[in-house]
Amino acid sequence: MTRVIIKNGCIIDPARKTATVGDLVLENNIVQEVIDFAMAPTSYGDEAQFIDAAGCFVTPGFIDIHTHLREPGFEGKETIATGIDAAVRGGFTTICPMPNTNPALDSASMIRQQYDIAARHSPIHVLPIGTVTLGREGKVLAPLIELAEAGAHGFSDDGAPVWDAHIMRQALLYSTMTGRPVMNHCEDLSLVRGAAMNAGAIATRLGLSGWPAAGEEVMIARDIALAEETGGRLHICHVTTAGGVALIRSAKARGVRVTAEVTPHHLTMTDRWVLGNMEPWDGKGPFDPSRLPPYDTRTRVSPPLRSADDVIALIAGLRDGTIDAIATDHAPHTHVDKETEYANAAPGFTGFELALPMLMTLVNTMQIDVVELVARLTLGPAGIVDVLPVALGPGDPATLTIFDPSTTWTVTPEALASKGKNTPLMGQEMRGQIMLTMMEGQIVFRRDNFGVVSRREHGGAVGKLAGVFDEEE
């Protein structure tokens, strides 16, 4: 019997909406008890092992329902192995790779291969999303039942929309036999063709072709109408506009089976970032604007960074539950993919390892409560791809993340395990860092010697750590 005590952290249980400062007692890889620090015993016995989490949050492992691991086909950008390494360093214990690989994940064998490769590397859950249509071509439905039986947790042609309304309707109908959602990347191709950034004042000034908010909203409205009629289960990938949030909010109020996700970057960055260093940054962010020149291709992402008004609406949607989940849309690219003219650059940001510190800027500026935030990183996404339980109460698996909200660190290529170094935050100082990630009791990531407590320290006058020591010493 192994007993591990995570000591003195702030334990967040999004299922119970509680935050408890105290000790999390794990036994045989299962949560045994959450003990308020005032009630904590002075000793847990000689056999117990300790992790000192003072000053840190202890939460269920994060779940990311929208990621790109690029394998097979684009291993120069990322592999399943490097993607997992980055994910655990970002606090994620469940990740859902999108099927826009080459070949696409449109058959049972392709889905099974994802499981096989991931299992060889790590015990974290890699739950692939299958395609909606064969080859993601939008023409012929993929074998959705076979995909689901092989372990696909949803269906998406992500990277491209299911543009044909009839095919989308068929997918929503047919997928009801699987219980899995159809996750659409909402982008009306006729409205956004050639678009490099959000349509509006900044695009006009920079002379870049604009992607109007309506290019997203038109398809969200279409899909909601189809879901309403068919009773199918619809998930809106990366909503980015105020109008999109309003459409989803009213659909939910009518009882339509629709869920939605938002990315950390659309919650924290605006299209002014494409302007680079001349304009003041929105949100009075803590970043150094001189590190970002105009037309920096690291600001190119699909859907594009939107206006400040959109960001405000997204945060409101996240808080009131219109938006169920935060998903990174982790989209690693090579240096060469980005070192080109703005409109030619591959869209997307590396996401796993920056998600938490980016999101903590919202907590630090009082725009969202940390318990709410954790819920949108755990409970919300879990409901969409059906992974439960997500809680830190007695009997729950010891699948958890520990992060320090106050540690500062600088984003450098070396600091990121992902092959994708593509982020407009390169060179910036971030506040908040994942310290330890545990999957069913097994430590899958530990930063430096986080939480290790020596007998020597114990022997000293470390009052708050009474009873804490490390077995190895």
Which residues of this protein are in contact with other proteins, per CB under 8 A? 196, 199-201, 203-208, 210, 275-278, 290, 293-295, 297, 339-344
Cβ-in-10-Å burial (0-12, 13-18, 19+) of 255 comes to: exposed
Q: How far is the CB of 215 from other proteins (least distance, A)?
A: 14
Q: Catalytic: 337?
A: no
Q: Which is nearer to other proteins, 77 or 235 (CB)?
A: 77
User: Judged by CB, which is closer to other proteins: 208, or 363?
Assistant: 208
Please tell me whether residue 195 adopts helix, strand or coil conformation: coil
- Which CB, 196 or 234, lies closer to other proteins? 196
For CA atoms 24, 30, 181, 72, give the dihedral sign. positive
Question: How many CB atoms are located within 10 Å of the residue 302 CB?
Answer: 18
* Cis peptide bond N-terminal to 389, omega within 30: yes
**In the complex, minimum distance from the CB of residue 306 to other proteins, in angstroms, rounded to a whole number:** 14
- Per-residue tokens: 212: 């109007």
Nearest distance in Å: CB 193, other proteins? 9
Burial class (CB in 10 A: 0-12, 13-18, 19+), 246: middle
Helix (H) or strand (E) segment spanning residue 25: strand 18-27
Out of 310, 329, 404, 470, pick the active-site residue. 329
User: Which lies closer to other proteins via its Cβ, residue 344 or residue 406?
Assistant: 344
Whether the upstream peptide bond of residue 103 has omega within 30° of 0, thus cis, is yes
Reading the block at residue 242, the tokens are: 């105020």
| Residue 452: CB minimum distance to other proteins, A | 43
For 395, phi and psi rounded to 5 degrees?
95, -15
CB of 97: closest distance to other proteins in angstroms?
29
How open is the CA angle 457-463-466, to the nearest 5 degrees? 70
Give the integer Cα–Cα distance in Å for 17 and 115.
32
Distance from the first to the final alpha carbon of the chain = 20
DSSP for 404-454 reads EEEEEEE--GGG--SS----TTTT-EEEEEEEEEEETTEEEEE-TTTT---
Least distance CB 428 / other proteins (angstroms): 17
Closest to other proteins by CB, 324 or 337: 337
Strand, helix or coil at 193? coil
CA distance 379 to 126: 17
> Would you state the structure tokens that stand for residue 140, as one six-digit string?
């012929």
Residues 6+ positions from 136 with CB-CB distance below 8 Å? 99, 100, 104, 106, 157, 159, 160
Distance of closest approach, residue 221 Cβ to other proteins, in angstroms:
21
Tokens of residue 255, six digits: 């009882």
β-pairing, 258-262 vs 182-184, is unpaired
Report the nearest approach of other proteins to the CB of residue 351 (Å). 24
Which CB, 170 or 198, lies closer to other proteins? 198
In terms of CB distance, is 41 or 293 closer to other proteins? 293
Q: Which is nearer to other proteins, 238 or 272 (CB)?
A: 272
- Where in the sequence numbering do the catalytic residues fall? 329
